[in-house]
Structure 1
Amino acid sequence: MLNRRGLIGASLIGSGLVGARAASAAEPTGGAGIQLTRPCVISTWDFGVPANQAAWAILSKGGRALDAVEAGARVPEQDLKNHSVGRAGYPDRDGHVSLDASIMDEQGNCGAVAALEHIAHPISVARAVMEKTPHVLLVGAGALQFAQEQGFPREELLTPESRAAWEAWKKDAKYAPKANSEVGDYGKTSGQLGTPGGAGNHDTIGMLALDAQGNLSGACTTSGMAWKLRGRVGDSPIVGAGLYVDNDVGGATSTGVGEEVIRNVGSFLVVELMRQGRSPQDACKEAVARILKKKPQAKDIQVGFLAVNKQGQVGAWAIQKGFTYALCDGARQDRLVAGQSFY
């Protein structure tokens, strides 16, 4: 069975990024966070490395941050080996694959979809909600209807591998949170769980970009908790919880157990703390601390925050060690960083 570092290395090798400018293992960050040059893009987990590359292809040519985060988020959404984001995501307890996503631009415009079935790229549907409707969030059957009206193809998202994992899970059908577990019974931490052969993934990808014009945008997309109750929605499509951007201040995104992020409106909190003068690192740390203060038993699960301010300073913090995030800018394009944590 692969451990976390093995998974990180495998992901980087698979993406073709191990070599001249990519880190082959996570490197720690200092207490002050990391300073990037503009333009830049950051994202959660090891699959953020290839996602960042897609975003960088746009940013490096002077493109808009919004276009970059959409392009980046689509990379894990279409990865058939990724069982926590997009078309190959693990299903709910009844065998339905449902996807959540949100997107937010530099002007404060935002769009989101939740419990969306049969559409492989929820991040692009979320952008369509933002740009083509007066609404912010569409859910369920209504989101599917809108997506099809916009020309998104209806597809069967339950892949043979995901179906096999679901069938294996049904033998015991247990929910048991295990922070940063690669294989187990709970899907909304670092590993989508119950995977045959022990090949795990992480969960949500949250992405934030600062373009050459100094504008910020963000995206967040996930298939949510494996084996969840049908209709369950986590933090990813909830603007202010899983994602928040204020172009005057910075942006933040989250990963981990979405219920705890929603209860604390986590990403909005991180941005507001940065508005008050906190560094991204300190703001993320404080947001995690508030979760633990309100609910001490949350120390046994995982929640992590990732943030960037208007100056390109990056910070992250998590409950449990094991949270990683990917960075990309012109100075050093690809690197994977081990976020700091309380436990």
Structure 2
Amino acid sequence: MSDRREFIKKAALGSIGAGAALHGVMGAKGPVSATAQNGTKPLIISTWNHGLAANDEAWQQLKSGASALDAIVAGVGVSEADPKVRSVGYGGLPDREGKVTLDACIMDHKSDCGSVSFLQGIKHPIAVAKKVLEDTPHVMLTGSGALQFALEQGFKQENLLTAKSEHDWREWLKKSKYEPVINIENHDTISMLVLDADGNLSGGCTTSGAAWKMHGRVGDSPIIGAGLFLDNEVGAAAATGLGEAIVRTAGSAMVVELMRQGMSPAEACKEIVERIHKKHINHKDMSYLQVGFIAVNKAGEYGGYSLRSGFNYAVTDEGSGTRLEDATFKMTWEE
């Protein structure tokens, strides 16, 4: 936990440094989107520092001839399997009853989608979501139905609550106060967007959701249009942060629609973050509200923006490889 806190401090301080050089600084015109170094494609962008390893795996998959969906499943699957990533998959922080519940969705360039929510005992919900897309007439399966489907598809059920996460849960139980520590142990969803060599867009999200949430709570990550949305004629967007705020505003769908109207990816992300801020300025969630978006358009431009400092994302392209970039933001945590 201390390493993660130190990382966030450095990320917040660096947000007006290297990241500003690529994405612009706060001003009348807002942030400026960057463009993939090799022109347009392929390009991978994903949320948070654990996106670095996810991007590397997804990139290798693409280079080996895998489809974009398979690359996404393999890439974010790295985070799902890593117990050090406390907000995704195995080792994710549990709900207030000590249960690790998972949400995920995936979407391809044909607008076909698959999603699972409130799934327990399956380490790779993104892979189950892909099976929903491929092998069912539905978009979303949830709870016991999603688990039944996963087991029928050959997935292995296992205990996802690690000793570390159980310890932290028991410590939380002593006070049982729901006060999310954003950017650290809550809401660090991994969302990944891919612009492949053919110029087609795909995306995926996977998360264990908010720590200490009520049992049965579902956030934005498995909801097409909230945590993830794309239109292959326009662009793709994905979210991280307080899921309730993103659901209330259909966040990712709105980012894509603004790109359709001519905004750059970074400008569209900024507009929706500011819309969320305006709608929540006097809301009970405001004291711990953090939201961030990433987006990419058909031209290979990409960008990100967050409400508060500390949000960053991983980018991979042919010209510059994989690197972590800081998003511009509206507020610091002191504001």
- The CA deviation at 1:45 is 0.4
Aligned amino acid, residue 32 of structure 1? V
How far, CA to CA, are the matches of 1:214 and 1:62 in structure 2?
Answer: 15
Structure-1 residue corresponding to 2:138: 135
User: Shift of the alpha carbon at 1:249?
Assistant: 0.7
CA–CA separation in structure 1 for the residues paired with 2:300 and 2:193: 11
TM-score normalised according to structure 1 size: 0.87
Return the offset for 1:26: 6.3
- Amino acid paired to 1:263: R
Whole-Å separation in 2 of the counterparts to 1:127 and 1:339: 29
- AA partner of residue 114 (structure 1): S
- What is the letter of the counterpart of residue 159 of structure 1? T
Residues 195-274 of structure 1 aligned to structure 2 (within 5 Å): 203-274=188-259
RMSD: 1.8
User: 1:20 corresponds to which residue?
Assistant: none
Query: What is the CA distance between 1:288 and its match in structure 2?
Result: 0.7
Aligned residue pairs total 311
Amino acid at match of 2:327: G
- How many angstroms does 1:190 deviate by? 1.2
Task: Report if aligned partners of 1:299, 1:320 keep a CA contact under 8 Å in 2.
Answer: no
Q: Distance in 1 between matches of 2:4 and 2:117?
A: 31
Task: State the match for 1:147 in structure 2.
Answer: 150
SS at match of 1:88: coil
**Aligned to 1:66, what secondary structure does the other structure show?**
helix
Partner of 1:84: 87
**CA distance, structure 2, for counterparts of residue 26 and residue 165 of structure 1:** 34
Tell me, yes or no, if the aligned pair for 2:8 and 2:310 is still in contact at 8 Å.
no
Whether the 8 Å contact between 2:8 and 2:184 is mirrored in structure 1 is no
1:1-343 matches, cutoff 5 A: 1-2=2-3, 6=7, 27-28=19-20, 29-30=23-24, 31-36=31-36, 37=38, 38-176=41-179, 186=180, 189-192=182-185, 203-297=188-282, 300=287, 301-343=289-331
Q: Normalised by the size of structure 2, how large is the TM-score?
A: 0.89
CA contact (8 A) 2:4 2:184 kept: no
Change in 2 beyond 3 A, CA 1:4/1:334 = farther
Unaligned stretches of 5+ residues in structure 1: 11-24, 177-185, 194-201
Q: Which residues of structure 2 form unaligned runs of 5+?
A: 12-16, 25-30
Deviation at 1:6, TM superposition (A): 3.2
Q: Shift of residue 329 of structure 1?
A: 0.5
Contact 1:251–1:309 (CA under 8 A) maintained in structure 2:
yes
Distance 1:47 1:336 in 2: 10
- Aligned-partner residue type, residue 144 of structure 1: L
Provide the C-alpha distance between the structure 2 equivalents of 1:312 and 1:9, rounded to a whole number of angstroms.
Answer: 28
Contact 2:19 2:328 in 1 (8 A): no
**Which one is further off, 53-62 or 162-171?**
53-62
Measure the CA separation in 1 of the matches of 2:215 and 2:286: 26
Contact 1:62 1:212 (8 Å CA) reproduced: no
Matched residue, 2:28: none
Deviation readout 1:174-220 (Å, 9 max, x if unpaired): 112xxxxxxxxx15x31116xxxxxxxx6100000011011110000
Q: Is the contact between residue 291 and residue 307 of structure 2 (CA under 8 Å) also seen in structure 1?
A: yes
Residue 322 of structure 1 and its aligned partner are, at CA, apart by 0.8
Matched residues in 1 for 2:275 and 2:65: separation?
A: 38
Letter in 2 for 1:33: S
Helix, strand or coil at the partner of 2:233: coil
CA distance in 2, matches of 1:148, 1:8: 41
Contact 2:103 2:117 in 1 (8 A): yes
Cα offset, 1:69, TM superposition: 1.3
CA drift of 1:8 comes to 9.1
Give the drift of 1:3.
6.4
Change beyond 3 A, Cα 1:3–1:221: closer
Q: Give the Å deviation of 1:60.
A: 2.6
C-alpha spacing 1:286/1:7, structure 2 compared with 1 (3 Å):
closer
**Could you say what secondary structure the match of 2:308 adopts?**
coil
Distance 1:132 1:60 in 2: 26
Q: Which residue of 2 aligns with 1:197?
A: none
Q: 1:132 to 1:26 in 2, by over 3 A?
A: farther
CA distance in 2 between counterparts of 1:26 and 1:8 reads 15
